[in-house]
Amino acid sequence: MVTISSPDPRRWWALAALVASMLTLGFDMTILNVALPTMARDLGASTGEQQWMADAYVVVFAALMLPAGLLGDRFGRRRMLIAGLGVFLAGSLAGALADGVTAVIAARAVMGVGAALVTPLALSVLPSLFAPEERTKAVGIVSAGSTLGLPLGPIIGGWLLDHYWWGSVFLVNLPMAAVGIAACVFLLPETRDPASPKVDATSTALTAAGLGALIYAIIEAPTRGWTDPLVLALLGAAAVLIAALVLRERRTARPMLDMTLLAQRGFLFNALAATLVMFVLSGLMFLLPPYLQAVLGHDALGTGVRLLPLMGGLTVAARAAQPVVARFGSRAVVSAGLVVLAFAALLGSRTTVDSGYGFTALWLTVAGAGFGLSIVPAMSGALGTLPTDRAGWGSPHAFKAVGEARAC
Query: What count of residues does the chain have?
Result: 408
pLDDT classification of 400: cutoffs 50, 70, 90: very low
- CB count within 10 Å of CB 4 equals 15
Whether the predicted pLDDT of 390 surpasses 60 = no
pLDDT tens digits along 59-118: 788 777 777 777 877 788 888 889 999 999 999 999 999 989 999 999 999 998 998 888
Whether the predicted pLDDT of 288 surpasses 50 = yes
pLDDT of the residue at 292 = 82
Distance in angstroms (rounded) separating the CA atoms of residues 368 and 27: 18
Q: Name, in order, each residue with C-beta under 8 angstroms of 10's C-beta and a sequence gap of 6 or more.
A: 187
- CB count within 10 Å of CB 221 equals 17
- Contact indicator for 383, 274 with CB cutoff of 8 Å: no
pLDDT classification of 385: cutoffs 50, 70, 90: low
Distance in angstroms (rounded) separating the CA atoms of residues 349 and 343: 10
Choice between 385 and 205, residue whose per-residue pLDDT is larger: 205
pLDDT of the residue at 398 = 41
Domain range list for the chain: 11-199+256-405
Mean pLDDT of the chain: 78
Give the pLDDT mean for 337-354. Answer: 89
Distance in angstroms (rounded) separating the CA atoms of residues 169 and 153: 9
pLDDT classification of 388: cutoffs 50, 70, 90: low
Burial class (CB within 10 angstroms; exposed 0-12, middle 13-18, buried 19+) of 191? buried
pLDDT classification of 1: cutoffs 50, 70, 90: very low
Return the percentage of the chain with pLDDT > 70, whole number: 82
pLDDT tens digits along 180-233: 888 888 877 777 766 666 667 788 788 778 877 887 887 778 778 889 999 999
At the top level of CATH, the class of 11-199+256-405 is mainly alpha
Q: pTM here? A: 0.70
Whether the predicted pLDDT of 397 surpasses 50 = no
DSSP string covering 117-137: HHHHHHHHTHHHHS-HHHHHH
